[in-house]
Structure 1
Amino acid sequence: MQFISVVSVPVSDQDRAKSFYLDKLGFDLIAESTFGDEMRWIQVGIPGAQTSLTLVTWFDEMPPGSLRGLVIDCEDLDKEYRALTERGVAFLGPPSQQPGGVFAILSDPDGNLISLRQAGS
């Protein structure tokens, strides 16, 4: 094994999710194509990162909004928190010290929760 390349994020509306991840979070669009019976592969990622996300609608066992436990590291969490809040990203609360660093948890339009973390603080 080498690395985790793609994590599936369950969403109800791929266009709305794509807009959120690109316009609000600042991710890049890596790939977008159709496959199967009118299904779409939409892959987004943090610029320069090795791991990306695919915005999925086709896993019955992964209902929209069920993602938990995804952690994205930040160099300056306070700066990211302020910038994302100004862009309308909803957080569960301000950054707080937790075991493993300082964390702030954001919610995408479907309620998927993503933790931003600054390690070593």
Structure 2
Amino acid sequence: MALSLHAFTLVVPDYDAAIAFYVGKVGFTLIQDTKLSEAKRWVLIAASADAACHILLARADGAEQQAAIGNQTGGRVGFFLHSDDFDADYARMMAAGVTFEETARSEPYGKVAVWRDPWGNRWDLLQLT
């Protein structure tokens, strides 16, 4: 029996704003957007259409979830977007208005730059060596 990571949840303030950012600016693919009720949707995005792992965008419901928006990993980089062409993806994301906290740098494991979404979640864009 093989296990694999299918998806993880990213709590956001609004479905459409999150789709606009992650799909429209970062370049992710919208995998599924299904209305479950008047207030709830099943929204899956992924780095590419054939990616094995997805992100479930979950609109915050209540004060506790709203408090977690943008700080789901305690301020640390919690998400890692791998690129096979770092320079091109870095330039494309910068041109689209993605906020990078630093310029690209080289580390023993590869090229990396920290970026964040509009709500404060921190990500690494990286190309491994």
More helix by share: 2
How would you bin the TM-score normalised by the shorter chain? 0.7 to 0.9
SS in structure 2 opposite 1:65?
coil
Instruction: Please list, as runs of the form range in 1=range in 2, the aligned pairs for 1:27-46 lying within 5 A after superposition.
Output: 27-35=28-36, 38-46=39-47
Give, in angstroms, the shift of residue 74 of structure 1.
0.7
2:53 match: 51
| C-alpha distance in structure 2 between counterparts of 1:35 and 1:99, whole Å | 45
Give, in angstroms, the shift of residue 99 of structure 1.
4.3
| C-alpha distance in structure 1 between counterparts of 2:38 and 2:85, whole Å | 43
| C-alpha distance in structure 2 between counterparts of 1:109 and 1:90, whole Å | 8
Give, in angstroms, the shift of residue 43 of structure 1.
0.8
Q: Which of 65, 69, 80 is equivalent to 2:70?
A: 65
Q: Indicate whether 1:23 and 2:24 are aligned.
A: yes
Q: Indicate whether 1:102 and 2:104 are aligned.
A: no
Structure 1 residues 38 and 114, CA gap change in structure 2 (3 angstroms): same
Instruction: Please list, as runs of the form range in 1=range in 2, the aligned pairs for 1:63-102 lying within 5 A after superposition.
Output: 63-67=68-72, 68-102=77-111
TM-score using structure 2 length: 0.82
Partner letter of residue 70 of structure 2?
G
TM-score using structure 1 length: 0.87
Q: Structure 1: which 5+ residue stretches go unaligned?
A: none
The Cα RMSD (Å) is 1.9
Partner letter of residue 113 of structure 2?
A
Is contact 1:31–1:44 with CA below 8 Å preserved after alignment?
A: yes
| C-alpha distance in structure 2 between counterparts of 1:100 and 1:35, whole Å | 42
| C-alpha distance in structure 2 between counterparts of 1:13 and 1:38, whole Å | 10
Q: Structure 2: which 5+ residue stretches go unaligned?
A: none
2:7 match: 6
Give, in angstroms, the shift of residue 58 of structure 1.
3.7
| Residue identity (%) | 27
